[in-house]
Structure 1
Amino acid sequence: MYQLRDVTKQYRRGKETITALAGVDLTIGDGDRLVIQGPTGGGKSTLLQMLGGLDRPTSGSVELDGVDMARLPEARLTRVRSESIGFVFQSFNLIPTLTAQENVETALVPLRLKAADRRERAAEALTSVGLGERLSHLPSEMSGGQQQRVAIARALVKNPKVLLADEPTGNLDESMRDEIMDVLETQWKEHGLTFIMVTHDSAIARKAPRLATIRKGRITVTENAKAA
Protein backbone atom coordinates (compact mmCIF):
# COMPACT_ATOMS: atom_id res chain seq x y z
CA MET A 1 0.00 0.00 0.00
CA TYR A 2 1.08 3.56 -0.73
CA GLN A 3 0.68 6.25 1.90
CA LEU A 4 1.63 9.80 0.94
CA ARG A 5 1.60 12.40 3.69
CA ASP A 6 1.91 16.15 3.08
CA VAL A 7 4.08 15.64 -0.03
CA THR A 8 5.45 18.88 -1.44
CA LYS A 9 7.80 19.18 -4.39
CA GLN A 10 9.42 22.44 -5.37
CA TYR A 11 11.84 23.27 -8.16
CA ARG A 12 14.02 26.28 -8.76
CA ARG A 13 13.75 27.99 -12.12
CA GLY A 14 16.20 30.83 -12.08
CA LYS A 15 15.07 33.03 -9.19
CA GLU A 16 11.58 31.59 -9.23
CA THR A 17 10.34 28.69 -7.08
CA ILE A 18 7.91 26.35 -8.82
CA THR A 19 5.61 24.25 -6.64
CA ALA A 20 4.71 21.05 -8.52
CA LEU A 21 3.03 19.33 -5.55
CA ALA A 22 1.55 21.20 -2.61
CA GLY A 23 0.88 19.11 0.48
CA VAL A 24 -0.50 16.00 -1.20
CA ASP A 25 -2.11 13.35 1.01
CA LEU A 26 -3.01 10.11 -0.77
CA THR A 27 -3.64 6.47 0.07
CA ILE A 28 -3.51 3.77 -2.63
CA GLY A 29 -4.39 0.26 -1.54
CA ASP A 30 -2.91 -2.97 -2.83
CA GLY A 31 -4.59 -3.93 -6.10
CA ASP A 32 -6.12 -0.48 -6.66
CA ARG A 33 -6.44 1.06 -10.12
CA LEU A 34 -6.01 4.82 -9.99
CA VAL A 35 -6.04 7.24 -12.91
CA ILE A 36 -4.37 10.64 -12.51
CA GLN A 37 -5.61 13.53 -14.62
CA GLY A 38 -5.17 17.28 -14.75
CA PRO A 39 -3.90 20.20 -16.84
CA THR A 40 -0.39 20.34 -18.24
CA GLY A 41 2.03 21.43 -15.56
CA GLY A 42 -0.41 20.56 -12.78
CA GLY A 43 1.82 17.95 -11.15
CA LYS A 44 0.64 14.65 -12.67
CA SER A 45 4.00 13.34 -13.83
CA THR A 46 5.72 14.68 -10.73
CA LEU A 47 3.35 12.64 -8.57
CA LEU A 48 4.03 9.53 -10.64
CA GLN A 49 7.78 10.08 -10.26
CA MET A 50 7.34 10.22 -6.49
CA LEU A 51 5.38 6.96 -6.51
CA GLY A 52 8.08 5.34 -8.62
CA GLY A 53 11.01 6.55 -6.55
CA LEU A 54 12.34 8.44 -9.56
CA ASP A 55 12.35 11.70 -7.63
CA ARG A 56 12.20 12.71 -3.98
CA PRO A 57 9.83 15.22 -2.38
CA THR A 58 11.04 18.49 -0.96
CA SER A 59 9.09 17.56 2.17
CA GLY A 60 6.63 14.91 3.27
CA SER A 61 6.74 11.11 3.09
CA VAL A 62 6.08 8.57 0.31
CA GLU A 63 5.62 5.17 1.91
CA LEU A 64 5.35 1.89 0.03
CA ASP A 65 4.46 -0.98 2.36
CA GLY A 66 5.53 1.10 5.32
CA VAL A 67 8.93 2.09 3.91
CA ASP A 68 9.46 5.79 3.22
CA MET A 69 11.08 5.88 -0.22
CA ALA A 70 11.88 9.56 0.24
CA ARG A 71 14.45 8.63 2.88
CA LEU A 72 15.98 5.48 1.46
CA PRO A 73 19.65 5.45 0.45
CA GLU A 74 19.96 5.57 -3.34
CA ALA A 75 21.21 1.98 -3.63
CA ARG A 76 18.24 0.60 -1.72
CA LEU A 77 15.81 2.82 -3.62
CA THR A 78 17.23 1.49 -6.89
CA ARG A 79 16.61 -2.04 -5.63
CA VAL A 80 12.99 -1.23 -4.78
CA ARG A 81 12.47 0.12 -8.29
CA SER A 82 14.16 -2.89 -9.87
CA GLU A 83 12.17 -5.46 -7.92
CA SER A 84 8.80 -3.93 -7.08
CA ILE A 85 7.86 -1.25 -9.61
CA GLY A 86 7.25 -1.55 -13.35
CA PHE A 87 7.19 1.53 -15.59
CA VAL A 88 5.46 2.16 -18.93
CA PHE A 89 5.98 5.45 -20.76
CA GLN A 90 4.38 7.26 -23.70
CA SER A 91 7.52 7.03 -25.84
CA PHE A 92 8.03 3.24 -25.33
CA ASN A 93 11.77 3.77 -24.52
CA LEU A 94 12.83 0.62 -26.36
CA ILE A 95 16.46 0.13 -27.42
CA PRO A 96 16.31 0.19 -31.24
CA THR A 97 19.18 -2.27 -31.78
CA LEU A 98 17.71 -4.95 -29.51
CA THR A 99 14.97 -7.44 -30.36
CA ALA A 100 11.68 -7.51 -28.50
CA GLN A 101 12.93 -10.34 -26.32
CA GLU A 102 16.25 -8.62 -25.61
CA ASN A 103 14.45 -5.38 -24.70
CA VAL A 104 12.31 -7.23 -22.17
CA GLU A 105 15.35 -9.04 -20.76
CA THR A 106 16.97 -5.70 -19.86
CA ALA A 107 14.53 -5.37 -16.94
CA LEU A 108 15.86 -8.61 -15.46
CA VAL A 109 19.57 -7.75 -15.61
CA PRO A 110 19.58 -5.99 -12.19
CA LEU A 111 18.04 -9.12 -10.65
CA ARG A 112 21.12 -11.13 -11.63
CA LEU A 113 19.23 -14.04 -13.14
CA LYS A 114 20.92 -16.59 -15.36
CA ALA A 115 20.75 -15.85 -19.07
CA ALA A 116 18.54 -18.87 -19.75
CA ASP A 117 16.09 -17.75 -17.06
CA ARG A 118 15.99 -14.23 -18.48
CA ARG A 119 15.23 -15.55 -21.96
CA GLU A 120 12.47 -17.83 -20.69
CA ARG A 121 10.78 -15.16 -18.59
CA ALA A 122 11.02 -12.57 -21.38
CA ALA A 123 9.42 -14.96 -23.85
CA GLU A 124 6.61 -15.72 -21.39
CA ALA A 125 5.99 -12.02 -20.77
CA LEU A 126 5.81 -11.24 -24.49
CA THR A 127 3.46 -14.16 -25.05
CA SER A 128 1.19 -12.84 -22.28
CA VAL A 129 0.74 -9.55 -24.18
CA GLY A 130 0.13 -11.26 -27.53
CA LEU A 131 3.63 -11.03 -29.02
CA GLY A 132 4.79 -14.62 -28.74
CA GLU A 133 5.57 -14.68 -32.48
CA ARG A 134 7.51 -11.40 -32.42
CA LEU A 135 10.36 -12.28 -30.08
CA SER A 136 13.11 -11.67 -32.63
CA HIS A 137 11.66 -8.49 -34.17
CA LEU A 138 13.35 -5.12 -33.76
CA PRO A 139 11.27 -2.10 -32.67
CA SER A 140 11.47 -0.69 -36.21
CA GLU A 141 9.76 -3.85 -37.47
CA MET A 142 6.74 -3.37 -35.20
CA SER A 143 3.79 -0.98 -35.06
CA GLY A 144 3.42 1.57 -32.30
CA GLY A 145 0.91 -0.63 -30.52
CA GLN A 146 3.23 -3.62 -30.71
CA GLN A 147 6.13 -1.55 -29.36
CA GLN A 148 3.99 -0.49 -26.42
CA ARG A 149 3.13 -4.14 -25.77
CA VAL A 150 6.87 -4.86 -25.61
CA ALA A 151 7.22 -2.01 -23.12
CA ILE A 152 4.38 -3.47 -21.02
CA ALA A 153 6.02 -6.92 -21.11
CA ARG A 154 9.31 -5.34 -20.01
CA ALA A 155 7.54 -3.65 -17.09
CA LEU A 156 5.85 -6.87 -15.98
CA VAL A 157 8.58 -9.46 -16.57
CA LYS A 158 10.08 -8.93 -13.11
CA ASN A 159 6.68 -9.61 -11.47
CA PRO A 160 6.38 -6.19 -9.83
CA LYS A 161 3.90 -5.24 -7.15
CA VAL A 162 3.17 -1.87 -8.79
CA LEU A 163 2.68 -0.82 -12.41
CA LEU A 164 3.07 2.89 -13.18
CA ALA A 165 2.07 4.18 -16.62
CA ASP A 166 2.68 7.74 -17.85
CA GLU A 167 0.44 8.50 -20.87
CA PRO A 168 0.89 4.96 -22.25
CA THR A 169 -1.65 5.55 -25.04
CA GLY A 170 -0.58 9.10 -25.86
CA ASN A 171 1.18 8.16 -29.12
CA LEU A 172 -1.55 5.78 -30.35
CA ASP A 173 -4.73 6.19 -32.36
CA GLU A 174 -8.12 5.45 -30.81
CA SER A 175 -8.38 1.80 -31.85
CA MET A 176 -4.84 1.05 -30.72
CA ARG A 177 -5.50 2.95 -27.50
CA ASP A 178 -8.37 0.60 -26.70
CA GLU A 179 -6.21 -2.46 -27.42
CA ILE A 180 -3.44 -1.27 -25.12
CA MET A 181 -5.91 -0.43 -22.35
CA ASP A 182 -7.36 -3.94 -22.68
CA VAL A 183 -3.85 -5.38 -22.28
CA LEU A 184 -3.10 -3.20 -19.26
CA GLU A 185 -6.40 -3.95 -17.54
CA THR A 186 -6.05 -7.67 -18.19
CA GLN A 187 -2.56 -7.67 -16.67
CA TRP A 188 -3.82 -5.65 -13.69
CA LYS A 189 -6.53 -8.18 -12.96
CA GLU A 190 -4.50 -11.32 -13.62
CA HIS A 191 -1.49 -10.25 -11.55
CA GLY A 192 -3.27 -8.37 -8.78
CA LEU A 193 -1.18 -5.28 -9.51
CA THR A 194 -1.49 -1.85 -8.01
CA PHE A 195 -1.99 0.07 -11.28
CA ILE A 196 -1.53 3.84 -11.41
CA MET A 197 -1.81 5.69 -14.70
CA VAL A 198 -1.43 9.30 -15.83
CA THR A 199 -3.55 10.22 -18.85
CA HIS A 200 -5.07 13.24 -20.55
CA ASP A 201 -7.71 10.99 -22.16
CA SER A 202 -11.12 11.58 -20.55
CA ALA A 203 -12.53 8.38 -22.09
CA ILE A 204 -10.00 6.38 -20.08
CA ALA A 205 -10.51 8.46 -16.94
CA ARG A 206 -14.29 7.87 -16.97
CA LYS A 207 -13.72 4.10 -16.71
CA ALA A 208 -11.37 4.28 -13.73
CA PRO A 209 -12.55 3.05 -10.32
CA ARG A 210 -10.65 5.95 -8.73
CA LEU A 211 -9.72 9.26 -10.33
CA ALA A 212 -7.16 11.66 -8.88
CA THR A 213 -7.36 15.15 -10.34
CA ILE A 214 -4.37 17.44 -9.82
CA ARG A 215 -4.51 21.18 -10.32
CA LYS A 216 -1.74 23.54 -9.25
CA GLY A 217 -0.16 20.79 -7.18
CA ARG A 218 -3.28 19.96 -5.18
CA ILE A 219 -5.15 16.68 -5.46
CA THR A 220 -8.80 15.65 -5.35
CA VAL A 221 -9.75 11.94 -5.43
CA THR A 222 -13.19 10.71 -6.55
CA GLU A 223 -14.59 7.19 -6.52
CA ASN A 224 -16.55 5.73 -9.45
CA ALA A 225 -18.62 2.77 -8.29
CA LYS A 226 -19.87 2.12 -11.84
CA ALA A 227 -16.38 1.89 -13.38
CA ALA A 228 -15.06 -1.40 -14.73
Structure 2
Amino acid sequence: MYELSGVTKQYRRGKDTVHALAGVDLTIGEGDRLVIKGPTGGGKSTLLQMLGGLDRPTAGSVKLDGTDLARLGEAKLTAVRGRSIGFVFQSFNLIPTLSAQENVETALVPLGTKAGERRDRAAEALRSVGLGERLNHVPSEMSGGQQQRVAIARALVKQPKVLLADEPTGNLDESMRDEIMDLLEGLWKEHGLTFVMVTHDSAIARRATRLATIRNGKITITERSA
Protein backbone atom coordinates (compact mmCIF):
# COMPACT_ATOMS: atom_id res chain seq x y z
CA MET A 1 0.00 0.00 0.00
CA TYR A 2 2.41 2.72 1.24
CA GLU A 3 6.19 2.62 0.94
CA LEU A 4 8.08 5.67 2.22
CA SER A 5 11.81 5.88 1.67
CA GLY A 6 14.15 8.58 2.95
CA VAL A 7 11.33 11.11 3.33
CA THR A 8 12.69 14.48 4.39
CA LYS A 9 10.79 17.74 4.79
CA GLN A 10 12.50 21.04 5.49
CA TYR A 11 10.95 24.45 6.07
CA ARG A 12 12.50 27.86 6.28
CA ARG A 13 11.55 29.79 9.40
CA GLY A 14 13.26 33.14 9.21
CA LYS A 15 16.97 32.38 9.03
CA ASP A 16 16.53 28.88 10.44
CA THR A 17 15.85 25.56 8.68
CA VAL A 18 13.27 23.36 10.38
CA HIS A 19 13.61 19.61 9.78
CA ALA A 20 9.99 18.45 10.09
CA LEU A 21 10.89 14.98 8.77
CA ALA A 22 14.42 13.62 8.73
CA GLY A 23 14.82 10.56 6.50
CA VAL A 24 11.66 8.63 7.37
CA ASP A 25 11.36 5.03 6.13
CA LEU A 26 7.92 3.48 6.64
CA THR A 27 5.80 0.67 5.21
CA ILE A 28 2.02 0.55 5.70
CA GLY A 29 0.29 -2.53 4.37
CA GLU A 30 -3.20 -2.73 2.93
CA GLY A 31 -5.73 -2.90 5.76
CA ASP A 32 -3.22 -1.77 8.41
CA ARG A 33 -4.20 0.51 11.29
CA LEU A 34 -1.38 2.81 12.34
CA VAL A 35 -1.46 5.48 15.06
CA ILE A 36 1.13 8.26 14.87
CA LYS A 37 2.00 9.98 18.15
CA GLY A 38 4.50 12.63 19.12
CA PRO A 39 4.97 16.10 20.60
CA THR A 40 3.65 19.24 18.95
CA GLY A 41 5.98 20.21 16.13
CA GLY A 42 7.55 16.75 16.03
CA GLY A 43 6.48 16.02 12.45
CA LYS A 44 3.41 13.79 12.86
CA SER A 45 0.96 16.00 10.95
CA THR A 46 3.60 16.62 8.28
CA LEU A 47 3.91 12.87 7.80
CA LEU A 48 0.14 12.51 7.46
CA GLN A 49 0.11 15.28 4.84
CA MET A 50 2.73 13.35 2.86
CA LEU A 51 0.57 10.21 2.99
CA GLY A 52 -2.41 12.21 1.76
CA GLY A 53 -0.59 13.99 -1.04
CA LEU A 54 -1.31 17.33 0.64
CA ASP A 55 2.39 18.21 0.77
CA ARG A 56 5.51 17.07 -1.02
CA PRO A 57 8.80 15.96 0.56
CA THR A 58 12.00 17.90 0.14
CA ALA A 59 13.63 14.54 -0.62
CA GLY A 60 12.63 10.90 -0.71
CA SER A 61 9.65 9.01 -2.13
CA VAL A 62 6.07 8.45 -0.95
CA LYS A 63 4.65 5.52 -2.92
CA LEU A 64 0.98 4.56 -2.80
CA ASP A 65 0.36 1.27 -4.60
CA GLY A 66 3.65 1.78 -6.43
CA THR A 67 2.95 5.36 -7.56
CA ASP A 68 5.24 8.03 -6.12
CA LEU A 69 2.92 10.81 -4.96
CA ALA A 70 5.88 13.18 -4.75
CA ARG A 71 6.38 12.98 -8.52
CA LEU A 72 2.79 13.32 -9.68
CA GLY A 73 1.56 16.49 -11.34
CA GLU A 74 -1.06 18.43 -9.42
CA ALA A 75 -3.99 17.26 -11.56
CA LYS A 76 -3.10 13.57 -11.17
CA LEU A 77 -2.41 14.04 -7.46
CA THR A 78 -5.82 15.65 -6.99
CA ALA A 79 -7.40 12.70 -8.80
CA VAL A 80 -5.67 10.19 -6.49
CA ARG A 81 -6.83 12.10 -3.41
CA GLY A 82 -10.37 12.29 -4.74
CA ARG A 83 -10.56 8.61 -5.65
CA SER A 84 -8.48 6.79 -3.04
CA ILE A 85 -8.02 8.85 0.14
CA GLY A 86 -10.51 10.06 2.74
CA PHE A 87 -9.58 12.75 5.26
CA VAL A 88 -10.90 13.53 8.75
CA PHE A 89 -9.54 16.55 10.65
CA GLN A 90 -9.74 17.95 14.18
CA SER A 91 -11.79 20.89 12.93
CA PHE A 92 -14.78 19.34 11.24
CA ASN A 93 -14.53 21.59 8.13
CA LEU A 94 -18.26 21.42 7.46
CA ILE A 95 -19.98 24.09 5.37
CA PRO A 96 -22.26 25.85 7.88
CA THR A 97 -25.06 26.64 5.43
CA LEU A 98 -25.38 23.06 4.12
CA SER A 99 -27.27 20.19 5.71
CA ALA A 100 -25.49 17.05 6.86
CA GLN A 101 -26.50 15.27 3.66
CA GLU A 102 -25.37 18.15 1.46
CA ASN A 103 -22.02 18.33 3.28
CA VAL A 104 -21.44 14.64 2.62
CA GLU A 105 -22.47 15.01 -1.01
CA THR A 106 -19.68 17.57 -1.58
CA ALA A 107 -17.13 14.73 -1.58
CA LEU A 108 -18.83 13.15 -4.59
CA VAL A 109 -19.18 16.25 -6.77
CA PRO A 110 -15.54 16.20 -8.03
CA LEU A 111 -15.98 12.55 -8.99
CA GLY A 112 -18.81 13.42 -11.38
CA THR A 113 -21.35 11.35 -9.47
CA LYS A 114 -24.91 12.08 -10.62
CA ALA A 115 -27.20 13.99 -8.26
CA GLY A 116 -29.55 11.13 -7.46
CA GLU A 117 -26.71 8.75 -6.66
CA ARG A 118 -25.01 11.44 -4.57
CA ARG A 119 -28.12 11.83 -2.43
CA ASP A 120 -28.54 8.09 -1.95
CA ARG A 121 -24.90 7.46 -1.09
CA ALA A 122 -24.72 10.43 1.27
CA ALA A 123 -27.84 9.27 3.11
CA GLU A 124 -26.44 5.75 3.44
CA ALA A 125 -23.08 7.05 4.68
CA LEU A 126 -24.82 9.12 7.35
CA ARG A 127 -26.90 6.14 8.43
CA SER A 128 -23.69 4.11 8.74
CA VAL A 129 -22.35 6.59 11.33
CA GLY A 130 -25.60 6.73 13.28
CA LEU A 131 -27.04 9.95 11.82
CA GLY A 132 -29.91 8.63 9.74
CA GLU A 133 -32.27 10.99 11.58
CA ARG A 134 -30.07 14.05 11.05
CA LEU A 135 -29.86 14.26 7.26
CA ASN A 136 -31.41 17.72 7.03
CA HIS A 137 -29.73 19.31 10.06
CA VAL A 138 -27.10 22.02 9.54
CA PRO A 139 -23.90 21.93 11.63
CA SER A 140 -25.13 24.50 14.18
CA GLU A 141 -27.99 22.12 15.03
CA MET A 142 -25.61 19.28 15.91
CA SER A 143 -23.19 18.55 18.74
CA GLY A 144 -19.44 18.36 18.17
CA GLY A 145 -19.56 14.59 18.12
CA GLN A 146 -22.36 14.59 15.57
CA GLN A 147 -20.47 17.06 13.39
CA GLN A 148 -17.43 14.78 13.46
CA ARG A 149 -19.66 11.87 12.44
CA VAL A 150 -20.78 13.93 9.43
CA ALA A 151 -17.12 14.56 8.59
CA ILE A 152 -16.40 10.82 8.83
CA ALA A 153 -19.35 10.05 6.56
CA ARG A 154 -18.05 12.62 4.07
CA ALA A 155 -14.63 10.93 4.09
CA LEU A 156 -16.09 7.46 3.55
CA VAL A 157 -18.87 8.20 1.04
CA LYS A 158 -16.47 8.04 -1.90
CA GLN A 159 -15.39 4.54 -0.79
CA PRO A 160 -11.66 5.28 -0.43
CA LYS A 161 -8.90 2.74 0.12
CA VAL A 162 -7.25 4.89 2.77
CA LEU A 163 -8.64 6.89 5.70
CA LEU A 164 -6.32 9.52 7.19
CA ALA A 165 -7.36 11.20 10.44
CA ASP A 166 -5.53 14.16 12.00
CA GLU A 167 -6.45 14.54 15.69
CA PRO A 168 -10.07 13.52 14.95
CA THR A 169 -11.03 13.60 18.65
CA GLY A 170 -9.06 16.71 19.59
CA ASN A 171 -12.17 18.90 19.96
CA LEU A 172 -14.23 16.32 21.88
CA ASP A 173 -14.64 15.41 25.54
CA GLU A 174 -13.47 12.01 26.83
CA SER A 175 -16.77 10.14 26.47
CA MET A 176 -17.33 11.44 22.94
CA ARG A 177 -13.68 10.72 22.12
CA ASP A 178 -14.24 7.07 23.00
CA GLU A 179 -17.46 6.92 20.95
CA ILE A 180 -15.73 8.35 17.87
CA MET A 181 -12.77 5.99 18.28
CA ASP A 182 -15.10 3.00 18.56
CA LEU A 183 -16.86 4.19 15.41
CA LEU A 184 -13.63 4.70 13.46
CA GLU A 185 -12.24 1.31 14.48
CA GLY A 186 -15.54 -0.36 13.58
CA LEU A 187 -15.61 1.29 10.15
CA TRP A 188 -11.97 0.32 9.58
CA LYS A 189 -12.85 -3.33 10.11
CA GLU A 190 -16.13 -3.19 8.20
CA HIS A 191 -14.71 -1.54 5.09
CA GLY A 192 -11.23 -3.10 5.11
CA LEU A 193 -9.63 0.35 5.11
CA THR A 194 -6.03 1.27 5.56
CA PHE A 195 -6.38 3.62 8.54
CA VAL A 196 -3.71 6.07 9.71
CA MET A 197 -4.39 8.47 12.56
CA VAL A 198 -2.37 11.24 14.21
CA THR A 199 -2.95 11.93 17.90
CA HIS A 200 -1.35 13.52 20.93
CA ASP A 201 -3.74 11.63 23.24
CA SER A 202 -2.03 8.87 25.24
CA ALA A 203 -5.34 7.07 25.81
CA ILE A 204 -5.82 6.68 22.07
CA ALA A 205 -2.19 5.67 21.56
CA ARG A 206 -2.66 2.86 24.08
CA ARG A 207 -5.40 1.38 21.87
CA ALA A 208 -3.00 1.02 18.94
CA THR A 209 -1.53 -2.33 17.93
CA ARG A 210 0.94 -0.49 15.69
CA LEU A 211 2.27 2.81 16.97
CA ALA A 212 4.63 5.20 15.20
CA THR A 213 6.30 7.71 17.51
CA ILE A 214 7.86 10.79 15.90
CA ARG A 215 10.32 13.07 17.65
CA ASN A 216 12.41 15.68 15.88
CA GLY A 217 11.46 14.24 12.51
CA LYS A 218 12.61 10.69 13.36
CA ILE A 219 10.23 7.74 13.54
CA THR A 220 10.14 4.68 15.81
CA ILE A 221 7.65 1.85 15.29
CA THR A 222 6.23 -0.22 18.17
CA GLU A 223 4.24 -3.40 17.47
CA ARG A 224 1.84 -4.68 20.10
CA SER A 225 -0.32 -7.76 20.32
CA ALA A 226 -4.04 -7.16 19.82
Shift of 1:192: 0.2
- Residue in structure 1 matched with residue 44 of structure 2 by the alignment: 44
Deviation at 1:14, TM superposition (A): 1.6
The unaligned stretches of length 5 or more in structure 2 are none
In structure 2, C-alpha distance between the alignment counterparts of 1:25 and 1:13, rounded to whole Å: 25
Superposition map of 1:46-61 within 5 A: 46-61=46-61
Secondary structure class of the residue paired with 2:30? coil
Counterparts of 1:96 and 1:39, CA distance in 2: 32
TM-score (norm 1): 0.98
Q: Which amino acid aligns with 1:125?
A: A
Q: In structure 1, what is the equivalent of residue 25 of structure 2?
A: 25
Q: Deviations over 1:111-140 (max 9, x none)?
A: 001100000000000000000010000000
Aligned to 1:91: 91
- Does residue 182 of structure 2 align to residue 163 of structure 1? no
Helix, strand or coil: the match of 2:22? strand
Counterpart CA distance in 2 for 1:20 and 1:126 is: 36
What's the CA shift string for 1:31-81, capped at 9, x where partnerless? 000000001100000000000000000000000000000000100000000
Secondary structure at the counterpart of residue 211 of structure 1: strand
Q: CA deviation at 1:221?
A: 0.4
Distance in 2 (CA, whole Å) between partners of 1:205 and 1:18 is: 26
Gaps of 5+ in 1: none
Q: Deviations over 1:170-227 (max 9, x none)?
A: 00001000110011011100000000000111111111110000000000001011x3
Partner amino acid for 2:130?
Answer: G
Residue 110 of structure 1 aligns to which amino acid in structure 2? P
Which ranges of 4 or more aligned residues in structure 1 deviate by more than 3 Å?
A: none
Task: Figure out how many residues of one structure are paired with residues of the other and give that number.
Answer: 226
**Counterpart AA for 2:20:** A
Matching residue of 2:14 = 14
**Partner of residue 101, structure 1:** 101
What's the Cα RMSD here?
A: 0.5
Q: CA separation in 1, counterparts of 2:69 and 2:111?
A: 20
Aligned to 2:117: 117
Distance 2:39 2:201 in 1: 11
- Structure 2 counterpart SS, 1:145: helix
Tell me the equivalent position of 1:82.
82
SS in 2 for 1:107: coil
Paired residue type of 1:223: E
TM-score (normalised: structure 2)? 0.99
C-alpha offsets along residues 99-121 of structure 1, whole Å, 9 cap, x if unaligned? 00000000001100110000000
| 1:15 Cα offset (Å) | 1.6
Percent identity over the alignment is 83
